[in-house]
Every structure is written in structure tokens, then in C-alpha cells.
Amino acid sequence: MNYLVSFFGKNERIERHYTVSSCMRKPFYEALVASLKMSLEGGMPALNSDLLSTAPTSSIGLTIKNYSIDKGLSKKLHGFDNLKDTVQVKGPMGKGLGLTSDSEGTYVAFSAGTGILPFIDLVARIALGALNLIPES
């Protein structure tokens, strides 16, 4: 999912879209890696179904690297002054990859650099499907 992060400082407004990659959340990532290892060792992989929940939550986690570019959003966020500056987050925006348990076919994705992040969830979904860990509903 994408979120629009806006920074409002003295006489300036900077906006940038950020992507949340669900499979990179620590509990999900660790469980996915453990399931993949178990499968490679001949075991039966399992995944806590709560990790696959699509229920709304009241928080999101964004990882924003500080590139230290004077007019860049990341530098403003890392030097945020809560007495002078305001940050607004809008979202989620878009439909994500739009995959369901009924999705099938051949997927081809091209990406590079920071553009690869949205496709990490696609790779995780393919791995879950290969391990038969995608719930029917």
C-alpha cells in the first residue's frame, strides 16, 4: 500500500509517496523465513494466520532513509521540530497488487532501486503459495 507523506515547514510543503511492504514487518518476515527453511529441510511449514490478516489497524510503519538532501523530505523528517513543523500522512492509496486467493497465472515484474519494494510482497505471496500457506478465504 502507498501513503502520501507531506511535510509542512516554514513557507514550504514537500510531499512524497512511500510504500509499506507488509512482508517486511518483523513478525511476518521472521515467520516467512522460518517456513521457507522448514520446507527446504523437508518439514511441514506453518504460518500463524494472524500474520496474514487484512483487518484495519491504527498504525503503519514507514522506513525512511535520510538522504541528507537539503530540499528532500527525508532530511526534513529526520530533523523534524514538533513545535514548528507538521507532518501529514494520507492513505492507504491504491489497490496494492490486487492479488487474491483466486489469482493465478504468470507474473512478470521489472523494478530497480527503491522501486523494488512493492514487488517484495509479490515475491512473498508466491512463496506462500508454493508452501500452500495462503488461506482459502
**Dist. CA 128–CA 35, nearest whole Å:** 9
The pLDDT mean for the chain works out to 82
Mean pLDDT of 59-71: 81
Query: Model pTM?
Result: 0.62
The per-residue pLDDT for 55 is 75
Domain range summary for the chain, segments of one domain joined by +: 2-130
- The pLDDT tens digits of the residues spanning 44-54 come to 888 887 777 77
Are 44 and 51 in contact by the 8 Å Cβ rule? The answer is no
The per-residue pLDDT for 90 is 92
Are 88 and 18 in contact by the 8 Å Cβ rule? The answer is no
Are 128 and 134 in contact by the 8 Å Cβ rule? The answer is yes
The per-residue pLDDT for 96 is 67
**Collapsed DSSP state (helix, strand, coil) of residue 30:** helix
Give 60 or 11, the one with higher predicted confidence.
11
- The pLDDT tens digits of the residues spanning 77-116 come to 888 888 889 999 998 887 766 767 677 888 777 777 777 7
Are 88 and 9 in contact by the 8 Å Cβ rule? The answer is no
CA atoms within 13 A on the CB side of 73: 17
